Amino acid sequence: MKAIEITEFGAPDVLKLAERATPEPKAGEVLIKVSASGVNRPDVFQRKGSYAPPPGISDLPGLEVAGEIVGGSIDEKNNPFGLKIGDRVCALIAGGGYAEYAVAPLGQCLPVPKGLTDIEAASLPETFFTVWSNVFQRAQLGRGEGGENETLLVQGGSSGIGVTAIQIAHALGFRVFATAGSDDKCRACEALGAERAINYRSEDFVEVVKALTHDRGVDVILDMVAGGYVARELSALATGGRIVLIATLGGAKGEINMGEILRRRLTITGSTLRARSVDFKAQIAGELHAQVWPLLEDGRIKPVVYKVFAAAQAPQAHALMESSEHIGKIVLDWNQAA
Protein backbone atom coordinates (compact mmCIF):
# COMPACT_ATOMS: atom_id res chain seq x y z
CA MET A 1 0.00 0.00 0.00
CA LYS A 2 0.96 3.65 -0.34
CA ALA A 3 1.55 5.56 2.88
CA ILE A 4 2.96 8.86 4.11
CA GLU A 5 6.08 8.33 6.20
CA ILE A 6 7.89 10.68 8.57
CA THR A 7 11.40 10.19 7.14
CA GLU A 8 13.00 12.22 9.93
CA PHE A 9 11.76 14.75 12.47
CA GLY A 10 11.48 18.24 11.10
CA ALA A 11 9.64 20.55 8.69
CA PRO A 12 6.65 19.46 6.58
CA ASP A 13 8.85 18.28 3.72
CA VAL A 14 10.03 15.29 5.79
CA LEU A 15 6.66 13.71 4.95
CA LYS A 16 7.14 11.41 1.94
CA LEU A 17 4.91 9.07 -0.05
CA ALA A 18 6.26 5.52 0.33
CA GLU A 19 5.34 1.85 -0.03
CA ARG A 20 4.47 -0.11 3.10
CA ALA A 21 3.11 -3.55 3.81
CA THR A 22 -0.64 -3.56 4.36
CA PRO A 23 -1.27 -3.86 8.12
CA GLU A 24 -2.88 -7.01 9.50
CA PRO A 25 -5.75 -6.56 11.95
CA LYS A 26 -5.48 -8.25 15.34
CA ALA A 27 -8.35 -9.73 17.32
CA GLY A 28 -11.05 -7.11 17.79
CA GLU A 29 -9.75 -4.98 14.91
CA VAL A 30 -10.92 -4.39 11.35
CA LEU A 31 -9.03 -3.46 8.21
CA ILE A 32 -10.25 -0.28 6.52
CA LYS A 33 -9.57 0.65 2.90
CA VAL A 34 -9.00 4.33 3.49
CA SER A 35 -10.68 6.92 1.29
CA ALA A 36 -9.69 9.94 3.36
CA SER A 37 -7.54 10.80 6.37
CA GLY A 38 -8.05 13.75 8.69
CA VAL A 39 -5.09 16.02 9.48
CA ASN A 40 -4.74 17.17 13.09
CA ARG A 41 -2.38 19.22 15.22
CA PRO A 42 -1.03 16.08 16.99
CA ASP A 43 0.17 14.85 13.57
CA VAL A 44 2.32 17.98 13.36
CA PHE A 45 3.73 17.33 16.84
CA GLN A 46 4.53 13.73 15.86
CA ARG A 47 6.27 14.92 12.69
CA LYS A 48 8.42 17.23 14.82
CA GLY A 49 9.33 14.43 17.22
CA SER A 50 7.39 15.59 20.27
CA TYR A 51 4.39 13.22 20.22
CA ALA A 52 5.41 9.59 19.79
CA PRO A 53 2.76 6.94 19.13
CA PRO A 54 1.93 4.60 22.02
CA PRO A 55 3.85 1.30 22.18
CA GLY A 56 2.79 -1.16 19.51
CA ILE A 57 1.11 1.48 17.33
CA SER A 58 2.15 2.27 13.74
CA ASP A 59 4.80 4.95 13.33
CA LEU A 60 2.76 6.44 10.47
CA PRO A 61 0.91 9.62 11.43
CA GLY A 62 -2.86 9.93 11.26
CA LEU A 63 -5.49 9.62 13.98
CA GLU A 64 -8.72 9.44 11.96
CA VAL A 65 -9.84 7.83 8.73
CA ALA A 66 -12.94 7.10 6.70
CA GLY A 67 -13.43 4.30 4.22
CA GLU A 68 -14.72 0.75 3.80
CA ILE A 69 -14.29 -2.24 6.11
CA VAL A 70 -12.58 -4.88 3.97
CA GLY A 71 -11.40 -7.40 6.54
CA GLY A 72 -10.71 -8.24 10.13
CA SER A 73 -12.52 -9.55 13.16
CA ILE A 74 -16.17 -8.66 13.76
CA ASP A 75 -17.48 -10.04 17.03
CA GLU A 76 -21.25 -9.75 16.90
CA LYS A 77 -21.41 -9.68 20.71
CA ASN A 78 -19.29 -6.51 20.78
CA ASN A 79 -20.66 -4.78 17.70
CA PRO A 80 -23.18 -2.20 18.95
CA PHE A 81 -23.64 -0.55 15.55
CA GLY A 82 -24.07 -3.80 13.61
CA LEU A 83 -21.07 -3.14 11.35
CA LYS A 84 -20.03 -5.67 8.71
CA ILE A 85 -17.57 -6.16 5.87
CA GLY A 86 -18.32 -3.65 3.12
CA ASP A 87 -19.73 -0.96 5.43
CA ARG A 88 -18.54 2.63 5.19
CA VAL A 89 -17.13 3.79 8.51
CA CYS A 90 -15.09 6.53 10.09
CA ALA A 91 -12.70 5.56 12.86
CA LEU A 92 -10.55 7.02 15.58
CA ILE A 93 -7.15 5.34 15.64
CA ALA A 94 -3.94 5.83 17.61
CA GLY A 95 -1.76 6.05 14.48
CA GLY A 96 -1.35 4.79 10.94
CA GLY A 97 -4.06 6.89 9.31
CA TYR A 98 -1.93 8.40 6.53
CA ALA A 99 -2.16 5.26 4.39
CA GLU A 100 -4.34 3.44 1.87
CA TYR A 101 -5.19 0.84 4.52
CA ALA A 102 -5.44 1.19 8.29
CA VAL A 103 -6.48 -1.02 11.18
CA ALA A 104 -8.91 0.15 13.84
CA PRO A 105 -10.50 -1.42 16.91
CA LEU A 106 -14.10 -2.24 16.03
CA GLY A 107 -15.29 -0.28 19.06
CA GLN A 108 -13.72 2.89 17.69
CA CYS A 109 -15.49 2.64 14.33
CA LEU A 110 -18.73 4.49 13.64
CA PRO A 111 -20.97 4.25 10.58
CA VAL A 112 -20.56 7.19 8.23
CA PRO A 113 -23.52 9.49 9.03
CA LYS A 114 -26.19 9.36 6.34
CA GLY A 115 -25.67 11.96 3.65
CA LEU A 116 -21.98 12.55 4.36
CA THR A 117 -19.06 11.83 2.01
CA ASP A 118 -15.95 9.98 3.13
CA ILE A 119 -14.06 13.27 2.99
CA GLU A 120 -16.54 14.79 5.45
CA ALA A 121 -16.61 11.68 7.62
CA ALA A 122 -12.81 11.62 7.91
CA SER A 123 -12.97 15.06 9.52
CA LEU A 124 -15.10 13.84 12.42
CA PRO A 125 -13.53 11.28 14.79
CA GLU A 126 -10.54 13.03 16.38
CA THR A 127 -12.32 16.29 17.15
CA PHE A 128 -15.70 14.78 18.03
CA PHE A 129 -14.22 12.20 20.40
CA THR A 130 -12.00 14.88 21.98
CA VAL A 131 -14.78 17.42 22.44
CA TRP A 132 -17.26 14.90 23.80
CA SER A 133 -14.73 13.39 26.22
CA ASN A 134 -13.59 16.74 27.58
CA VAL A 135 -16.54 19.12 27.41
CA PHE A 136 -19.34 16.70 28.23
CA GLN A 137 -17.68 13.90 30.19
CA ARG A 138 -14.85 15.62 32.11
CA ALA A 139 -16.19 19.18 32.38
CA GLN A 140 -19.82 18.00 32.66
CA LEU A 141 -21.32 20.90 30.70
CA GLY A 142 -24.94 21.23 31.77
CA ARG A 143 -24.48 19.24 34.97
CA GLY A 144 -22.57 21.70 37.15
CA GLU A 145 -23.77 24.41 39.52
CA GLY A 146 -25.32 26.31 36.60
CA GLY A 147 -27.52 23.38 35.61
CA GLU A 148 -29.03 23.20 32.15
CA ASN A 149 -28.38 26.93 31.62
CA GLU A 150 -24.60 26.55 31.71
CA THR A 151 -22.40 28.37 29.19
CA LEU A 152 -19.27 27.37 27.28
CA LEU A 153 -16.27 29.41 26.13
CA VAL A 154 -14.22 27.80 23.35
CA GLN A 155 -10.67 29.09 22.95
CA GLY A 156 -9.52 28.79 19.33
CA GLY A 157 -13.04 28.61 17.97
CA SER A 158 -12.00 28.41 14.30
CA SER A 159 -9.82 25.31 14.78
CA GLY A 160 -11.05 21.82 14.05
CA ILE A 161 -11.70 21.30 17.75
CA GLY A 162 -13.30 24.73 18.00
CA VAL A 163 -15.84 24.37 15.20
CA THR A 164 -16.82 20.99 16.60
CA ALA A 165 -17.27 22.22 20.18
CA ILE A 166 -19.28 25.26 19.07
CA GLN A 167 -21.65 23.21 16.94
CA ILE A 168 -22.26 20.36 19.39
CA ALA A 169 -22.84 22.63 22.38
CA HIS A 170 -25.07 24.97 20.39
CA ALA A 171 -27.10 22.09 18.93
CA LEU A 172 -27.63 20.72 22.44
CA GLY A 173 -29.03 24.06 23.57
CA PHE A 174 -26.13 25.72 25.40
CA ARG A 175 -24.98 29.32 25.08
CA VAL A 176 -21.55 29.29 23.43
CA PHE A 177 -18.86 31.96 23.19
CA ALA A 178 -15.58 31.60 21.31
CA THR A 179 -12.27 33.33 20.70
CA ALA A 180 -10.48 33.60 17.35
CA GLY A 181 -7.61 35.56 15.84
CA SER A 182 -9.36 37.64 13.18
CA ASP A 183 -12.70 39.27 12.51
CA ASP A 184 -13.35 36.85 9.63
CA LYS A 185 -12.73 33.86 11.89
CA CYS A 186 -14.99 35.39 14.52
CA ARG A 187 -17.81 35.73 12.01
CA ALA A 188 -17.30 32.09 10.99
CA CYS A 189 -17.62 31.01 14.62
CA GLU A 190 -20.84 32.97 14.98
CA ALA A 191 -22.24 31.42 11.81
CA LEU A 192 -21.65 27.99 13.38
CA GLY A 193 -23.55 28.83 16.56
CA ALA A 194 -21.36 30.97 18.81
CA GLU A 195 -23.51 33.70 20.33
CA ARG A 196 -20.47 35.99 20.35
CA ALA A 197 -16.97 35.43 19.01
CA ILE A 198 -14.16 37.50 20.51
CA ASN A 199 -11.13 38.64 18.54
CA TYR A 200 -8.38 37.95 21.06
CA ARG A 201 -6.02 40.30 19.24
CA SER A 202 -8.22 43.34 19.84
CA GLU A 203 -10.54 42.40 22.73
CA ASP A 204 -10.22 41.05 26.28
CA PHE A 205 -12.17 37.80 26.43
CA VAL A 206 -12.54 38.09 30.21
CA GLU A 207 -14.27 41.47 29.96
CA VAL A 208 -16.50 40.36 27.09
CA VAL A 209 -17.77 37.13 28.65
CA LYS A 210 -18.33 38.82 32.00
CA ALA A 211 -20.44 41.47 30.26
CA LEU A 212 -22.37 38.88 28.26
CA THR A 213 -23.20 36.88 31.40
CA HIS A 214 -24.07 39.88 33.62
CA ASP A 215 -20.76 39.50 35.47
CA ARG A 216 -21.45 35.85 36.35
CA GLY A 217 -18.84 34.33 34.06
CA VAL A 218 -18.97 31.12 32.02
CA ASP A 219 -19.33 27.62 33.42
CA VAL A 220 -16.91 25.71 31.20
CA ILE A 221 -13.86 26.80 29.20
CA LEU A 222 -12.34 24.48 26.60
CA ASP A 223 -8.70 25.53 26.41
CA MET A 224 -5.97 24.41 24.03
CA VAL A 225 -3.69 27.37 24.85
CA ALA A 226 -2.81 26.97 28.57
CA GLY A 227 0.26 28.94 29.69
CA GLY A 228 -0.64 32.46 30.80
CA TYR A 229 -4.23 32.04 29.62
CA VAL A 230 -5.23 29.91 32.60
CA ALA A 231 -4.97 32.72 35.16
CA ARG A 232 -7.20 34.91 33.01
CA GLU A 233 -9.62 32.07 32.45
CA LEU A 234 -10.08 31.62 36.19
CA SER A 235 -11.30 35.24 36.28
CA ALA A 236 -13.75 34.49 33.48
CA LEU A 237 -15.32 31.49 35.25
CA ALA A 238 -18.58 31.47 37.16
CA THR A 239 -18.57 30.05 40.68
CA GLY A 240 -18.25 26.29 40.34
CA GLY A 241 -16.78 26.69 36.85
CA ARG A 242 -14.42 24.28 35.10
CA ILE A 243 -11.45 24.72 32.78
CA VAL A 244 -10.62 21.67 30.68
CA LEU A 245 -7.20 21.65 29.01
CA ILE A 246 -6.56 19.66 25.84
CA ALA A 247 -3.26 21.19 24.65
CA THR A 248 -0.54 23.59 25.72
CA LEU A 249 0.05 25.66 22.59
CA GLY A 250 0.77 28.72 24.76
CA GLY A 251 3.11 26.91 27.13
CA ALA A 252 2.96 24.15 29.73
CA LYS A 253 3.49 26.42 32.74
CA GLY A 254 1.51 29.29 34.20
CA GLU A 255 1.00 31.08 37.51
CA ILE A 256 -2.48 30.96 39.03
CA ASN A 257 -4.26 32.22 42.15
CA MET A 258 -4.99 29.15 44.28
CA GLY A 259 -7.13 31.20 46.63
CA GLU A 260 -9.53 31.98 43.82
CA ILE A 261 -9.94 28.26 43.13
CA LEU A 262 -10.76 27.63 46.79
CA ARG A 263 -13.15 30.54 47.28
CA ARG A 264 -15.20 29.92 44.14
CA ARG A 265 -14.99 26.12 43.91
CA LEU A 266 -13.24 26.15 40.55
CA THR A 267 -11.84 23.13 38.75
CA ILE A 268 -8.90 22.80 36.37
CA THR A 269 -8.78 19.46 34.59
CA GLY A 270 -7.53 18.07 31.29
CA SER A 271 -6.77 14.98 29.30
CA THR A 272 -5.17 13.46 26.25
CA LEU A 273 -6.99 10.81 24.25
CA ARG A 274 -4.48 8.89 22.17
CA ALA A 275 -3.23 6.47 24.84
CA ARG A 276 -6.62 5.79 26.46
CA SER A 277 -8.05 2.28 26.33
CA VAL A 278 -10.20 0.87 23.55
CA ASP A 279 -13.02 0.40 26.07
CA PHE A 280 -12.88 4.08 27.04
CA LYS A 281 -12.98 5.20 23.41
CA ALA A 282 -15.74 2.73 22.62
CA GLN A 283 -17.84 4.31 25.37
CA ILE A 284 -17.37 7.71 23.75
CA ALA A 285 -18.29 6.22 20.37
CA GLY A 286 -21.53 4.91 21.81
CA GLU A 287 -22.48 8.27 23.29
CA LEU A 288 -21.62 10.09 20.07
CA HIS A 289 -23.70 7.65 18.03
CA ALA A 290 -26.69 8.12 20.32
CA GLN A 291 -26.53 11.85 20.93
CA VAL A 292 -24.51 13.51 18.15
CA TRP A 293 -24.82 11.34 15.03
CA PRO A 294 -28.56 12.19 14.70
CA LEU A 295 -27.60 15.87 14.71
CA LEU A 296 -25.17 15.26 11.85
CA GLU A 297 -27.75 13.29 9.89
CA ASP A 298 -30.44 15.97 10.18
CA GLY A 299 -28.01 18.79 9.36
CA ARG A 300 -28.01 20.57 12.70
CA ILE A 301 -24.26 19.88 12.85
CA LYS A 302 -22.18 19.97 9.68
CA PRO A 303 -18.59 18.93 8.97
CA VAL A 304 -16.41 21.99 8.37
CA VAL A 305 -13.75 20.96 5.83
CA TYR A 306 -11.53 23.88 4.90
CA LYS A 307 -9.34 22.21 2.28
CA VAL A 308 -8.74 18.76 0.77
CA PHE A 309 -5.28 17.72 -0.42
CA ALA A 310 -4.19 14.75 -2.48
CA ALA A 311 -2.50 12.29 -0.12
CA ALA A 312 0.98 13.00 -1.53
CA GLN A 313 0.45 16.66 -0.67
CA ALA A 314 0.64 15.91 3.05
CA PRO A 315 3.55 18.42 3.40
CA GLN A 316 1.34 21.21 2.05
CA ALA A 317 -1.47 20.11 4.39
CA HIS A 318 0.88 20.33 7.38
CA ALA A 319 2.15 23.72 6.28
CA LEU A 320 -1.44 24.98 6.18
CA MET A 321 -2.12 23.49 9.62
CA GLU A 322 0.90 25.28 11.07
CA SER A 323 -0.09 28.58 9.46
CA SER A 324 -3.41 28.55 11.38
CA GLU A 325 -5.04 30.25 8.40
CA HIS A 326 -7.69 27.54 8.10
CA ILE A 327 -11.17 27.44 9.57
CA GLY A 328 -12.18 23.88 10.42
CA LYS A 329 -10.56 20.68 9.20
CA ILE A 330 -7.92 19.67 6.66
CA VAL A 331 -8.26 16.29 4.93
CA LEU A 332 -6.08 14.04 2.75
CA ASP A 333 -7.82 12.28 -0.16
CA TRP A 334 -6.49 8.80 -0.98
CA ASN A 335 -8.52 8.66 -4.18
CA GLN A 336 -6.03 11.19 -5.51
CA ALA A 337 -2.84 9.86 -3.93
CA ALA A 338 -0.39 11.62 -6.26
Q: List where CATH 3.90.180.10 sits in the chain.
A: 2-124+274-336
Distance CA 280, CA 132 (A): 12
CB 327 within 8 A of CB 188: yes
In the prediction, which pLDDT does 338 show?
Answer: 62
In the prediction, which pLDDT does 337 show?
Answer: 61
What does the pLDDT profile of the chain (338 residues) look like in tens digits?
Answer: 999 999 999 999 999 999 999 999 999 999 999 999 999 999 999 999 999 999 999 999 999 999 999 999 898 888 999 999 999 999 999 999 999 999 999 999 999 999 999 999 999 999 999 999 999 999 999 999 888 899 999 999 999 999 999 999 999 999 999 999 999 999 999 999 999 999 999 999 999 999 999 999 999 999 999 999 999 999 999 999 999 999 988 898 989 999 999 999 999 999 999 999 999 999 999 999 999 999 999 999 999 999 999 999 999 999 999 999 999 999 999 998 66
CATH topology assigned to domain 129-270: Rossmann fold (3.40.50)
Distance CA 62, CA 184 (A): 29
203: buried, middle or exposed (CB in 10 Å: 19+, 13-18, 0-12)? middle
Paired with 139 in beta bridges are: none
Closest CA to 154 of 220, 67, 232: 220
Distance CA 61, CA 69 (A): 20
- Whole-structure pTM value: 0.96
Residue type (1 letter), 65: V
In the prediction, which pLDDT does 126 show?
Answer: 98
In the prediction, which pLDDT does 75 show?
Answer: 83
Residue type (1 letter), 327: I
In the prediction, which pLDDT does 37 show?
Answer: 98
Exposure string for 82-99, b = 16+ CB within 10 A, e = fewer:
ebeeebbbbbbbbbbbbb
Correct CATH for 2-124+274-336 of 3.90.180.10, 3.60.150.10, 3.10.20.30, 1.20.120.1200: 3.90.180.10
Distance CA 158, CA 194 (A): 11
Distance CA 200, CA 187 (A): 13
Q: List where CATH 3.40.50.720 sits in the chain.
A: 129-270
Distance CA 338, CA 314 (A): 10
Q: For 299, left (φ over 0), alpha (ψ -120 to 50), or beta?
A: left
211: buried, middle or exposed (CB in 10 Å: 19+, 13-18, 0-12)? exposed
Distance CA 170, CA 99 (A): 34
Largest CA distance in the chain: 59
Q: For 243, left (φ over 0), alpha (ψ -120 to 50), or beta?
A: beta
